[in-house]
Structure formats: C-alpha cells, structure tokens
Amino acid sequence: MYRDIPLEEAVAILMKYTKPIGFDEIDIIDALGRVLNENIITSFSLPPFNRSPLDGYAVIAEDTISASKEQPILLRVNQNIFAGDLPLRPIVSGEAAAIATGAPIPPGANAVIKIEDTQLVEDNVLLFSQLKPGDNFINQGDDVPAGEQILSKGMLITPAVIGLLASLGRKTVKVFKRPKVAALSIGDELVGIDEPRAPGKIYNSNLYAISAQITEAGGVPVPYRNTVDDKNQIAFLLDSCLQENDMVITTGGVSVGKRDYVKESITLSGANTLFWKVNIKPGTPVVCGEKNGRLIVGLSGNPAAAMITFYMLIRPVLQKISGLQQVNLPHVTAIMEEPFTKKSKQRRMMRANVYWKNGYYHAVPSGTQSPGALKSMLQCNALIDIPGGKGPLNIGEEVKVILLSPNYIL
C-alpha cells in the first residue's frame, strides 16, 4: 500500500482499473453526453452533390467577363432549380439556371451569381458583376469527403456530433455503457433527507452531491442509505455494493479518528488497499481499495473536500471507464484578485471563481476554504493549484488554475 502520494500518482494507480464495460446502441436523439463506441467513416460525401450556397443564377464564369453595373451581360434562363430538385438540363454558354440555396448546381455551370447582382427580364437575366470559376460554388464533399473517418471511438457526443450522424442518415449509434457507481455515506451523525433531524445530527448531503458528480462524470449513481461508523457493517456494505456495481465511492470515516473505520473495513471486505492519503488539501485522507478489478474509493466526509477530491481523482477515472479519450481538465493561468495569506506544506486546491476580463483570466477565492464549507462550492468553477510550500499569494500574482466546468458528460 502507498501512503501520502502525489495526486497524479494516485490518478495513475486508479487508471489501471478503468476497463470500459461494453456498449449500448441508442437513438442519436438520446446520445448527448455519451461517448462514441464506434469509428464513423462517411459512406458518402457531404454535401452529397455540388450545391449553391445562395439564391441566384448558376452560370459559366467565362460568360460573365467584363460584366458591370454599367454594362451588364444578358443570359437566357433555361430552368428553375429549387432545393430538393434535380437539374433538368446542363448549362451551355449563353445560359443561366435560376437556383435556390441548397439546390444542386447543373452540369456545365462553374459559378453562381447572387440574385442581388442580377435582374430578371422575362426569360433572360441581366448580370451586373463578373464571376470567377468556383465563385459561390460548394463542391460535393467540400464539408466531408466520402471515406473519411470523421468521428472516432472515445469522442464525447456533442450537438455537432449528433448533427453529423444525422446528416449521414444514422438513426442509432453505439455508445459506451455507463458504469454503475455506488454512493455510500458513512457517519453516526448522518440522517437521511426523508428523516427528522435530531439535535447533534446533520443531513446526509454528500450522498446527493456525490451522486450528481457521478452523473456529471458519465456514471449512473446508485445511492445507498447512510450507514453508521461500524467496521463490520461498513465491510459488509462495501462487499455487497461492489458486487452490484462497477465502483464504490464512500464519504466519511477515512481519517485517523477512533471511529474512522473505512480503511479497516476495506481490508475486512476482502479488498486490497492500493493507497491511503493523497498529497492535496483539502481531502488528504483518501483511501482506495480494489477487489476483482473494481475500485472502492473512500473520500473525506467533509462536503467540499469530498467534492474536490471527486473532481481531481474520480472524475477522470469514471470518464475513462465511460470510454472517453480526453479526460484532462483544462489548465489556464489567472491573476489573483484577492490576497491569500496562508502558506501550507501541502499542495492546495483552492476553490475559486474564475472569469475572463480584458484579455486575462482572473481568480477570486469563492469563500472560506474550510474543508466542510459547502457554500464555497457554489461559485466555484475552478481550482487554484497552489504547490506545497508556496504562499502567501498577493493580488496580481499569476496562478495556475484548473477549470472545472467544460467537458461535461451529462
């Protein structure tokens, strides 16, 4: 078992247990936020034919040489092509075809003049400007040629991916299965939100915050009723949760208190402990076990600490199990907008609100940094990554921040 390891090392250990768990075939309308489980190669070009990008007249560019407002050129209109139609005949020199946006350009034509630069005179059209070959001409395959691998396995399905699938005539798509993740809260002080709260007790909020984070990271949360600080009971639950789910996340009972049993219970459940304590603040006392290739991750019970360690440690792991290739959060440099006077030996992940103004990112701590302060998570869209031993931080100082919000899986 490793102890007090750097965050990156802990993530690397967990990443060894991230085998995806199969695939589903679902309607593309339901696929937003899922991860592609197939490579998509275009079976035909997009657009599938040469098309006009505007309403106007398809012509032969060479026929328009020297056309101007003062000296327009007259061409005979040989057909009207609307979107969805096929051209009835080709264009030969001296002819033009009236054409709508999105309609196929007839053979022979090599440019389209916009309607605003023309005037219809009975069966003829006056052209007031000159064109070059290829003007306003969208070639077949201009967007995507046939045979191109346009989408690949492991991509997050965004609205654009769904649009592309539809433009290829796909009704369904293969996506990675979402892992089932048990959420379990441990603590004698906890009561469920459907129970009366006696003095000295608190509502079990972690269960809900963590379940929501599981959903955000591509998993299916399976919330369990909270359990008391009893090592045998915890061990029993860990074992049964692990049998029914792909991963188990607990909160509470991982530190050095007399009733912090999760470490011991992991062993009692027959799992093998991979590490205890990660070198970040808040949330240091993370414990991690493995049984039959499935992970148990025990997080601190402190609500903000639990959420932060989830983002840094569990989110990439769950996303990987969900099939996602790109699991790293973006890092940017920001300017401190408030001083931070503390200095800690440990690396600190400071909750912050980061915004863009006048060409720079600016970072404001999003409230008290105590590990139990859940309110500080409300405005928190980034974590300031402060290396161990660094501090205090001054206003105007450049800091590295990890942006939390993009790249969601729904």
| List of residues contacting ligand AMP (CB under 6 A) | 185, 187, 189-190, 202, 204-207, 251-255, 257, 300-303, 372
Q: Report in angstroms how near the CB of residue 254 gets to ligand AMP at its nearest.
A: 6
Closest to Mg ion by CB, 78 vs 300, is 300
Nearer to Mg ion by Cβ, of 179 and 253: the residue is 253
**Residue 253 CB, nearest approach to ligand AMP (Å):** 5
Q: Which does 61 bind (CB under 5 to 8 A by kind): ligand AMP, Mg ion, none?
A: none
Q: To the nearest whole angstrom, how small is the minimum distance from the Cβ of residue 388 to Mg ion?
A: 26
Cβ nearer to Mg ion, comparing 106 with 187: 187
185 binds, among Mg ion, ligand AMP, none (CB under 5 to 8 A by kind): ligand AMP
For Mg ion, which residue of 218, 221, 252, 316 counts as binding (CB under 5 A)? 252
Q: Shortest gap between Cβ of 298 and ligand AMP (angstroms)?
A: 9
Q: Which does 136 bind (CB under 5 to 8 A by kind): ligand AMP, Mg ion, none?
A: none
Considering beta carbons, is residue 117 or 229 the nearer one to Mg ion?
229
User: Which option in Mg ion, ligand AMP, none does residue 45 bind, with CB closer than 5 to 8 A by kind?
Assistant: none
Nearest distance in Å: CB 278, Mg ion: 18
202 touches which of Mg ion, ligand AMP, none (CB within 5 to 8 A by kind)? ligand AMP
In this complex, which beta carbon is closest to ligand AMP, that of residue 40 or of residue 237? 237
Which residue's CB is nearer to Mg ion, number 78 or number 250? Answer: 250
- 42 or 204: CB nearest ligand AMP: 204
For residues 163 to 202, the per-residue mask of contacts with Mg ion, x marking binding by CB under 5 A and - elsewhere, is ------------------------x---------------
φ, ψ dihedrals at 170, nearest 5°: -85, 130
**Which stretches of the chain bind Mg ion, using CB under 5 A?**
187, 252-253
